[in-house]
Every structure is written in structure tokens, then in C-alpha cells.
Amino acid sequence: MPARSRIPDPATGALAAFAYDLRQLGEGKTPIPVIAERSSVSRAALYAAISGTRLPSRRTVATLVRWWAGDPSAEYKTDDSRIANPVWDWALLLPQDHPSRETISNWERRYRSLVKELDERRVHKPAAAPVRITEPPEQRKFIDELLTLIDSTGMLDYQWLLFGELNHKVTSYIAGAYLPEKRNLTRIVRICLKAQGYELDPDILDDDLDDDEGWALLAKTMESLGELVAEARIARARERRKARGG
């Protein structure tokens, strides 16, 4: 595995043990950069899942399991809309007798058990006292990239005109008070690209997205900023632990 993600100690708890086993599952298999290119999950989120620093999302775990325990090359070809649960149901696209079906189901059950265990711990754990942290360099890097994107529109000094009702959120991101969720980050990038003259035709066919300059730039920008946001979230959690003496 790449040196970018630390090796978790399975003896320290259920989350670390899950991440450790997930890392072991991927040894010698499709590398994370390739998985990130062929899925909707960022590299940062995929690496974090095998670091054991925080509970990964269902989609992140399912993506790794699909590539490491499953067999994408053996799946029947279809589009996501025909799958009832596109997070985990990729196993249903495999032949009925394919051994990966049961393996994926086992990992799905294990992930549900992990989530349940962590949720139960939170119920009985007193809330941590709020702490003040300094802005980590990872968050500053995201802010600088966001400012660069806004400046590319030529409206950095008229930001409120560019974003309208979304401006108060953009302002909070720039101030370092919050980090954007994917939905708002997508809105910001689309607005900026539109201001640069890209149309982002909603009727374009999926097969043609990579050939459309606007859509290709949207995907590239979202991947870059998305990774920075994920890294900033991890960094903020790290700084909070330090502030609490952890």
C-alpha cells in the first residue's frame, strides 16, 4: 500500500481492526489511484478508509470492497439507475455462482456491525468539550484553491454578485469556519465555470462527458477540491484531538 496512509493497529479498537483488514484485503490488488479514477470516491477518502482515523462512508467502503473483494470485470454491464442500491448491489451484477457475491455480502454485514457498535458507543459517551483550534495548513490549501477558482471568474471583488444566496456559505468557507459538503462544492464550481463561459449542457450524453471541455473541467476541478476538503476534515479532527490532549 502507498505510504500516504498509516497502518492502523488492529489492537486499538474495532475501527482500526476493520481498517487493517480492509488494507490487507487490498494487498497486491487494484491500487487506490486507479479506483479513484474509475469511481465517484476521492483518493483522500479511500486512503482514509484504510488508515482507521475515522469511520468511512458506506460508499467508500463498498467501492474498495467492490474492487478488492469483488470482480468488476465479471459484472453484467448496466447503468446505476437499474441497481436498487448502487452502493452495495454491484455484487448482484456478478454471475450467480461467482464466489465474490458471498465475500461482498460478508463485508457489507461487517460494516453494518461496525457502524452499530460505534453508534452505541456514542450514545453512552459524554460529548467532548468544544475546543478552539488554529486553521490547519490543509484547510488553508483548500481555501487558497477556492480563492484561485473564484478569481479565475474575474469577480473576486464582486463575490456576492457571483454567488447570490450561496454567498454567505462561500464566505464561511473562505473564513475557515466551515468546510463545504459535496452538494455546495458542486454548486460553487458550476457557478464559477459558467462565469468563465462554459455551458455545461445538461442534455449531453454520458458517453460524451469526457469529450466535453466544460464537463471534463468540472470533473477535474471537483476531484481536486474534493480531495482538499477531505484532507482538511482529517486535519481539523487531528487538531481537535491535539487540543484535547489526545
User: Among 22-26, 72-76, 100-104, 197-201, which range has the highest average pLDDT?
Assistant: 22-26
Please report which confidence band the pLDDT of residue 5 belongs to, taking 50, 70 and 90 as the band edges.
low
Supply the mean pLDDT for the chain.
Answer: 86
Assess whether pLDDT exceeds 50 at residue 1. Answer: no
pLDDT score for 201 = 58
Mean pLDDT of 38-49: 89
pLDDT score for 207 = 44
pLDDT score for 211 = 52
pLDDT tens digits for range 77-122: 766 555 666 678 888 888 888 988 889 989 999 999 999 998 887 7
Mean pLDDT of 214-228: 89
Mean pLDDT of 52-67: 91
pLDDT score for 83 = 63
pLDDT score for 199 = 79
Please report which confidence band the pLDDT of residue 23 belongs to, taking 50, 70 and 90 as the band edges.
very high
Assess whether pLDDT exceeds 80 at residue 9. Answer: yes
pTM recorded for the entire structure: 0.51
Q: How does DSSP assign the chain, residue by residue?
A: --TTSPPP-GGG-HHHHHHHHHHHHTTTSS-HHHHHHTSSS-HHHHHHHTTTSSPPPHHHHHHHHHHHTS-GGGSPP--GGG-S-TTTGGGGGS-TT-THHHHHHHHHHHHHHHHHHHHHHHHHSPPPPP---PPPHHHHHHHHHHHHHHHTTT-GGGHHHHHGGGHHHHHHHHHTS----HHHHHHHHHHHHHHTT----TT--GGGGGGSHHHHHHHHHHHHHHHHHHHHHHHHHHHHHHHTT-
Assess whether pLDDT exceeds 80 at residue 239. Answer: yes
pLDDT score for 204 = 43
Mean pLDDT of 20-34: 93
pLDDT score for 127 = 64
Q: Name the more confident of 174 and 83.
A: 174
